[in-house]
């Protein structure tokens, strides 16, 4: 049983909003209706010694992941993402700070499934079936149930014809599927995936995304680190961006894109070519014009209704000259680039914008 103090702490800390006093006393009756977060990280710090140097990998990270959420961790190489997930997985210990899972700091790692970055999540000489049975038994499942579950899971992941082939002879995409299957063999409540699509071809990325979506759809909370922003955008309901060991932004992918991207949701029309008078009249109305080898591109931010109206009216009148017409959305990629260009403010716990 979790110790009451920790149980309360986790409930209180995950339920306070930005700017509220995290230490304010809250009566048990006030918190009894609250659902604990799946993951609640408070003030996490971790440094490594590298010879004479000390590397500050985490500098006071706070974050909370709701139950059932697919939550993304973004950040450049060396930001501290893997350090964070290793601490949550209890593979390394933090210098300071706390982690609570599902309302307790006293959590069992049996509630976790973890696929770490790289390809060392499996026993390479063993087959997928042997791997899954091995990890299921390690997690405490009886051998007969382990075999049953392993076969069902491998079939569901499309690996029924590869169950008996040593993992080292499988493609990278298949190995990754086996690693994910092994991580969920015991039905964990929280699945941690560190770079699950790294090195996979387009088809394998799509299959892996689909598996993650399915596992999330069954109610498993997922914490996902990835540099693949398309994967993050399509799977995660919320993300935090970490830079130099500190959370520097958080929100849904589209909130982050809108808040931080220099690009805006825009209507873009490409023409074969236009008279300079037409272009001048349009730019005076707030439309942006840019010449390129293919022709002339006119764009208007969707927020500027007058400019959009002017551009679309013009396009309707000049429709025979239109090459393409499309809507461009503010991109998460631009937002992340913008965030990376800013100096990290250490330990600020992240900013919503
Ligand atoms: N075992 C270690 N010993 C020393 N330094 C380490 C160790 N592990 C990580 N670091 C350092 O800690 C910092 C954070 O590394 P970490 O692997 O957590 O980053 P990351 O965000 O996962 O990066 P990537 O996107 O490249 O996977 C880096 O500066 C890294 O060099
Ligand atoms: Mg990493």
DSSP code per residue over 139-186: TT--HHHHHHHHHHHHHHTT-GGGTTS-GGGS-HHHHHHHHHHHHHTT
* 75 Cβ below 6 A of ligand 1: yes
What is the reported pLDDT for 33? 56
> Nearest ligand, CA of residue 246?
1
* 82 Cβ below 6 A of ligand 1: yes
Q: Per-residue confidence at 345, pLDDT binned at 50, 70, 90?
A: low
> Residues 107-135: pLDDT tens digits?
988 899 999 998 789 999 999 999 999 99
Q: Which residue has the tokens 């091995």?
A: 134
Is pLDDT larger for residue 15 or for residue 329?
329
Identify whether the C-beta of residue 82 lies closer than 8 Å to the C-beta of residue 117.
yes
Residue 5 pLDDT greater than 50, yes or no: no
The average confidence (pLDDT) of the chain is 86
Q: What is the pTM of this model?
A: 0.80
Question: What percent of the chain has pLDDT above 90?
Answer: 70
Shortest-distance Cα residue to atom 9 of ligand 1:
83
- DSSP-derived 3-state class of residue 299: strand
* 80 Cβ below 6 A of ligand 1: yes
> Residues 85-107: pLDDT tens digits?
999 999 999 999 999 999 999 99
What is the reported pLDDT for 19? 32
What is the reported pLDDT for 310? 94
What is the reported pLDDT for 344? 57
Q: Per-residue confidence at 22, pLDDT binned at 50, 70, 90?
A: very low
Separation between Cα atoms, residue 165 and residue 178, nearest integer Å:
12
What is the reported pLDDT for 96? 97
Q: Which atom of ligand 1 is nearest to the CA of 242?
A: 21
Residue 73 pLDDT greater than 70, yes or no: yes
Residue 14 pLDDT greater than 70, yes or no: no
> Nearest ligand, CA of residue 76?
1
Q: Per-residue confidence at 216, pLDDT binned at 50, 70, 90?
A: very high
Instruction: Tell me what the mean pLDDT of segment 161-188 comes to.
Output: 95
* 79 Cβ below 6 A of ligand 1: yes
Separation between Cα atoms, residue 247 and residue 231, nearest integer Å:
20
């Amino acid at each position: 049983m979790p110790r009451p103090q920790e149980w309360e702490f986790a409930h209180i800390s995950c339920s306070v909003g930005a700017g509220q006093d995290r230490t304010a006393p809250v009566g048990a009756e006030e918190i009894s209706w609250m659902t604990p977060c799946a993951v609640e990280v408070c003030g996490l710090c971790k440094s490594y010694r590298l010879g004479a140097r000390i590397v500050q990998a985490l500098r006071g990270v706070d974050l909370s992941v709701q139950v059932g959420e697919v939550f993304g961790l973004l950040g450049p190489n060396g930001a501290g993402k893997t350090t964070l997930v290793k601490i949550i997985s209890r593979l390394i210990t933090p210098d300071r700070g706390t982690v609570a899972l599902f309302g307790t700091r006293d959590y069992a790692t049996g509630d976790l499934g973890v696929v770490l970055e790289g390809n060392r999540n499996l026993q390479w000489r063993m087959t997928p079936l042997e791997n899954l049975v091995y990890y299921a038994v390690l997690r405490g499942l009886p051998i007969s149930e382990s075999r049953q579950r392993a076969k069902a899971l491998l079939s569901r992941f499309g690996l029924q014809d590869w169950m008996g082939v040593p993992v080292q002879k499988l493609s990278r995409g298949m190995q990754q599927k086996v690693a994910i299957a092994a991580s969920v063999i015991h039905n964990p409540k929280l699945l941690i995936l560190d770079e699950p699509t790294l090195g996979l071809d387009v088809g394998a990325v799509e299959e892996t995304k689909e598996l993650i979506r399915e596992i999330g759809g069954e109610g498993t909370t997922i914490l996902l680190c990835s540099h693949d922003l398309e994967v993050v955008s399509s799977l995660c309901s919320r993300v935090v961006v970490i830079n130099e060991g500190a959370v520097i932004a958080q929100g849904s992918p589209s909130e982050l894109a809108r808040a931080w991207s220099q690009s805006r949701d825009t209507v873009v029309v490409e023409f074969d070519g236009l008279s300079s008078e037409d272009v001048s009249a349009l730019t005076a109305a707030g439309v942006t014009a840019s010449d390129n080898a293919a022709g002339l591109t006119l764009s208007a931010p969707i927020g500027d209704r007058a400019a959009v109206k002017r551009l679309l009216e013009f396009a309707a009148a000049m429709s025979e000259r239109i090459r393409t017409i499309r809507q461009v959305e503010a991109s998460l990629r631009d937002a992340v680039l913008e965030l990376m260009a800013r100096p990290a403010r250490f330990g600020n716990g992240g900013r919503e914008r």
